Every structure is written in C-alpha cells, then in structure tokens.
Amino acid sequence: MAEKCFLCGEKIHTTFLEKIQGTYLREGKKLKALCSTCQKKKQ
C-alpha cells in the first residue's frame, strides 16, 4: 500500500524492502510520511 506525503500529497514509492523513499516524522503516536522531496526542503 502506498503512503502519501502529508505535505504535498504525492504518493511515496517504496523500495523492494518496503521502505519508503522518504522518511517518517513522529507526531505523538502517529507517524507521518514525508516524501524525499519534502524531506530535502525541510533540511
């Protein structure tokens, strides 16, 4: 199942190991998916 980036709404592709090409941000008990593009913007 594809995750969507919580910032831009783009689908985040996963690697064959089911890792997302991006990162997760922890917010409370929830994990928010962030695509690699938005990840770079945040840095």
5 binds Zn ion (CB under 5 A): yes
7 binds Zn ion (CB under 5 A): yes
8 binds Zn ion (CB under 5 A): yes
- Three-state secondary structure of 1-43: CCEECCCCCCEECECCCCCECEEEEEECCEEEEEEHHHHHHHC
Question: How far, rounded to the nearest angstrom, does the alpha carbon of residue 37 sit from its chain's CA centroid?
Answer: 9
2 binds Zn ion (CB under 5 A): no
33 binds Zn ion (CB under 5 A): no
The residue ranges that bind Zn ion (CB under 5 A) are 5, 7-8, 35, 38
